[in-house]
């Protein structure tokens, strides 16, 4: 099973589980309010939660893989919100009117007022969840979580891997096809790269022109040398999509990258517009390494600091590029270049 498929199935399992728990809690509260005791409310709510989670969940998780789903996701924010609210809301109304859980446990059907309360509650919860999901896609799920939890209200020091991925030749391409077309080109590359980043537990920090910055905490990046696997998976995704890019833009995308590990200070900045940012030499060094990859015409270069913190398999091939002086660094950096990475067995990453 592919890593991405397994990750989405795991997410679907969590969604269904959360729906069952939420439905059980709501069913119990509704019955306590109506009858003074939970009665069959927990079981009925669990059945309804399972049905809704197992129908809405696949649409939200797997539907975006389809052409129609991608079109909905790329529509204006309010349009996406409205379409999803109508589709998911119709499912909720159906379950609340038919009441399959109530029929299965053979108890009297709810009154019209009880059904109306259930429909209003379900729509409110669904709308809030959809809104949060759409916002998380704009600013990133981890960033949203960190904001909500207040994790970076005070600056904190962290040890992180940073992977800079640059799209080669984009400047010349912009001169040939124009800024609007090159935007579509870059967006297409970034969309394809998003799945490998998610598959290997990376976090997209930011997009800077034709470059994306991906980061991992040390404990997240170490298993299976995920940053290297991520870069190779991005290359594979772009290679598979090369015919489509050639047809539309006349050129297939190629990337190069630089991987480094080091300490950074993470914290919130700004007032009316706030953001979570990384400060420190690790960011500057990774940027310098990316320029070095361009100068040496290498697909991926890795600093010695990152090399010694990753479990590098013996059957991977690397080239020792020696010591290199980087601007802003008082001491030269030992650099390696990736020449071959053995395809990953999907069950081994965890």
Which pTM does this prediction carry?
Answer: 0.78
Return residue ranges of the chain for CATH 3.30.70.1230: 155-348
Q: Could you read off the pLDDT of 216-226 as tens digits, one per residue? A: 999 999 999 99
Task: Give the distance, in angstroms, between the CA of residue 133 and the centroid of all CA atoms in the same chain.
Answer: 11
Taking alpha carbons only, the member of 328, 336, 157 closest to residue 259 is 336
Token pair of 46 as six digits: 């669990």
Confidence band for 347, pLDDT divided at 50, 70 and 90: very low
Q: Flag whether pLDDT at 229 surpasses 50.
A: yes
Q: How far apart, in whole angstroms, are the C-alpha atoms of residue 301 and residue 185?
A: 25
Q: Flag whether pLDDT at 112 surpasses 70.
A: no
Write out the H or E segment, with its range, that includes residue 258: strand 255-269
Structure confidence at residue 305 (pLDDT): 94
Q: How does the average pLDDT of the chain come out, rounded?
A: 85
Q: For the chain, how far is it from start to end, CA to CA, in angstroms?
A: 12
Q: How far apart, in whole angstroms, are the C-alpha atoms of residue 63 and residue 259?
A: 33
Residues sharing a CB contact under 8 Å with residue 87, sequence separation 6 or more, in sequence order? 59
Q: Flag whether pLDDT at 303 surpasses 90.
A: yes
Structure confidence at residue 349 (pLDDT): 41
Beta bridge partners, 319, equal 337
- Strands 211-217 and 156-167, by their bridges, are antiparallel
164 contacts 197 by C-beta, under 8 angstroms:
no
Helix axes 112-139, 77-98, angle to 10 degrees: 150
Residues sharing a CB contact under 8 Å with residue 142, sequence separation 6 or more, in sequence order? 203
Structure confidence at residue 337 (pLDDT): 93
- The one-character DSSP state at 37 is S
Task: Give the distance, in angstroms, between the CA of residue 142 and the centroid of all CA atoms in the same chain.
Answer: 9
Residues sharing a CB contact under 8 Å with residue 236, sequence separation 6 or more, in sequence order? 196
The fold of the 155-348 domain, in CATH, is: Alpha-Beta Plaits (3.30.70)
Q: Flag whether pLDDT at 114 surpasses 70.
A: no
Residues sharing a CB contact under 8 Å with residue 323, sequence separation 6 or more, in sequence order? 332, 333, 334, 335
Q: Could you read off the pLDDT of 260-288 as tens digits, one per residue? A: 999 999 988 877 777 788 999 999 999 99
CA distances from 212 to 13, 184, 231, 257, 321 (A): 30, 15, 11, 10, 24
Better-scored residue on pLDDT, 214 or 39: 214
Better-scored residue on pLDDT, 243 or 78: 243
Q: Residue holding tokens 């040390």?
A: 218
Q: Residue holding tokens 């589980």?
A: 17
Residues sharing a CB contact under 8 Å with residue 227, sequence separation 6 or more, in sequence order? 161, 163, 200, 202, 214, 216, 221, 259, 306, 310
């Amino acid at each position: 099973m592919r890593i991405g498929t397994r990750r989405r199935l795991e997410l679907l399992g969590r969604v269904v589980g959360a729906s069952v728990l939420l439905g059980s809690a709501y069913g119990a509260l509704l019955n306590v309010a109506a009858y003074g005791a939970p009665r069959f409310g927990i079981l009925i709510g669990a059945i309804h939660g399972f049905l809704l989670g197992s129908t809405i969940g696949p649409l939200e998780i797997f539907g975006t893989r389809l052409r129609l789903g991608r079109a909905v996701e790329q529509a204006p924010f309010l349009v996406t919100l409205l379409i999803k609210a109508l589709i998911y809301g119709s499912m909720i109304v159906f379950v609340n009117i038919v009441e399959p859980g109530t029929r299965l446990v053979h108890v009297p059907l709810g009154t019209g007022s009880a059904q109306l309360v259930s429909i209003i509650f379900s729509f409110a919860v669904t709308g809030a969840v959809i809104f949060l999901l759409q916002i998380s896609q704009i600013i990133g799920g981890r960033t949203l979580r960190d904001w909500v939890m207040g994790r970076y209200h005070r600056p904190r020091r962290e040890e992180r891997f940073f992977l800079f991925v640059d799209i080669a030749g984009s400047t010349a391409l912009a001169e040939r096809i124009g800024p609007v077309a090159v935007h579509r080109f870059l967006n297409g590359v970034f969309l394809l790269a998003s799945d490998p980043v998610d598959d290997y537990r990376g976090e997209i920090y930011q997009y800077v022109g034709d470059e994306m910055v991906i980061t991992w905490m040390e404990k997240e990046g170490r298993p299976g040398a995920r940053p290297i696997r991520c870069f190779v998976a991005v290359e594979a995704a772009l290679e598979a999509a090369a015919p489509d890019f050639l047809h539309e833009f006349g050129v297939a995308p190629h990337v190069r990258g630089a991987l480094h590990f080091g300490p950074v200070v993470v914290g919130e900045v700004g007032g009316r517009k706030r953001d979570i940012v990384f400060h420190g030499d690790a960011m500057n060094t990774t940027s310098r390494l990316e320029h070095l990859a361009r100068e040496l015409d290498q697909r991926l270069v890795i600093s010695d600091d990152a090399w010694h913190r990753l479990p590098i398999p013996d059957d991977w091939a690397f080239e020792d590029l020696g010591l290199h002086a980087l601007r802003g660094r008082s001491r030269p950096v030992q650099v390696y270049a990736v020449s071959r990475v053995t395809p990953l067995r999907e069950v081994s990453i965890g």
